[in-house]
Structure 1
Amino acid sequence: MSAHHLTTIGFDADDTLWQNEQFYRLTEGEFVKMFGDYAEGEHIASRLLEAEKRNLQHYGFGIKGFTLSMIETAIEITEGKVPASTIGDILDIGRSLLSHPVETLPHVEETLAALAGKYMLVLITKGDLFDQERKLAQSGLGELFDAVEIVSDKTAVTYRRIFAETGDGPERAMMVGNSLKSDVVPAIAAGSYGVFVPHELTWVLEHVEPPREAPRFREISHLGELLPLIASLD
Structure 2
Amino acid sequence: MGAADPVPGGGPWPRIWWVPTGAFHALPLHAAQCTRPDCDLPGCGAALDTVVSSYVPGFQTLAYARARAERRGLDADGSALLVAAPEEELPGVAAATRYAAGLLGAGEPLIGDAATREAVLAGLGGAAWAHFGCHAATDPAAPSGAVLHLPSGESLPVLDICRARPGTARLAFLAACGTARTSERLSDEAIHITSAFLLAGFPTAVGTLWEIDSTHADHVTRDFYGRAVGESGQGPALALHHSVRALRERIPERPHIWAAYVHAGA
- Given the two structures, how large is their TM-score scaled by the length of structure 2? 0.31
Q: Greater relative contact order: 1 or 2 (C-alpha under 8 angstroms, separation 6 or more)?
A: 1
- Given the two structures, how large is their TM-score scaled by the length of structure 1? 0.34
Higher normalized strand content (fraction of residues): 2
Task: Name which one, 1 or 2, has greater alpha-carbon Rg.
Answer: 1
Higher normalized helix content (fraction of residues): 1
